[in-house]
Amino acid sequence: MDKYSNLLNNLLNQISNIVEQEKNLQEIAMSRGECFNIFEVLGVRKNEVRLHSAFIADLLNPKSKHGLTDTFLKCFLEENDIDIKLDYETVRVSVEYNIGYVSEDGNRGGRIDILIEDASNHVIVIENKIDAEDQPSQLLRYHNFIQDNQKEGVLIFLTKDGHEASEISTNGLDIEYKCLSYHTNILNWLEKCKSLSEGFPLILNTIKQYIVNLKNILDIMNESMSAKIVEIATLPENVEATLGICSNFYEIAYRIRKSFINQLKDVAIKYGFKCKDEEGIDVELTNSNILKEYS
């Protein structure tokens, strides 16, 4: 075995040990009931409107029953460098705010996921994306809503990883908006909200539950374990092997996917399904007993 193979195996063994530790921690957490997630129980763990927009909007709402008035809203603005002078006494927060039917040219109308507004004509418009694709001219329509109503506003595009909107959403126009991510911006803000909720146990525990749910959706490893992986991968003796893995990332991902599809094929054949091709699975129900088994 050559030197590079030894380096690679050593790196993978070190990371495998960390992943195994993470699994053990998860098993311990499971046995203690720390993985209980009311949002998963209710079947809304990924629901944009019924959970994520609703929960975030309620925390941001000074008139919410959480009882901390504008504390969370001010924290949100500060943590994410949102420069707008809201009149906190008159702030209103809405979810799925209707701004009219979508016009024939598609440039106006729709429903705003989260709208924060005050009596002084200030607005914050949040387009919330957990899994949904960009819709035609969506950000452009919300931009036009701010401009048409002569409001002083901030348009926010919130996604899992903070990526920019597609040209479909902006209609190819250069409009101003701010990208935020659940992975960094929202989780960091929620951690601050936890600290601000000390003395409010019901609010604190609910935020903790939501953070657990969010980390599950984002597939975030325990922070200390994640930090250890980065530390090991960037050690001088491991850099060459790490860069080798990074440079072959797409080939590695392809082979993992292909292996998974082959496993699906075996299961499909076992239960009487038909696989159309290896890049996407199409199935035909050929055994009525399968329907009974999974109904």
pLDDT per position as a tens digit, 232-252: 888 888 878 788 888 887 888
* pLDDT for 111 beyond 50: yes
Q: Are 155 and 187 in contact (CB under 8 A)?
A: no
* pLDDT for 200 beyond 90: yes
3-state secondary structure 25-59: HHHHHHHCCCCCCHHHHCCCCCCHHHHHHHHHHHH
- Amino acid, res. 77: L
Q: Are 53 and 95 in contact (CB under 8 A)?
A: yes
- Report the 10 Å Cβ neighbour count for 74: 15
Query: How far is Cα 164 from Cα 159, in angstroms, rounded to an integer?
Result: 9
* pLDDT for 109 beyond 90: yes
CA 155 to chain centre: 18
What is the phi/psi pair of residue 244, to 5°? -65, -40
Q: Which of 90, 96, 97 is nearest to 50 (CA)?
A: 96
289 class by beta-carbon count within 10 Å (0-12 exposed, 13-18 middle, 19+ buried): exposed
Percentage above 90 pLDDT, the chain: 49
What is the model's pTM?
A: 0.71
The average pLDDT across 139-160 equals 94
What pLDDT is recorded for position 285? 38
**DSSP letters spanning 159-191:** ESS-PPPPHHHHTT-----EEEEIIIIIHHHHH
What pLDDT is recorded for position 279? 52
Q: Which two tokens stand for residue 270?
A: 């076992």
pLDDT per residue as tens digits for the range 165-190: 999 999 889 999 999 999 999 999 99
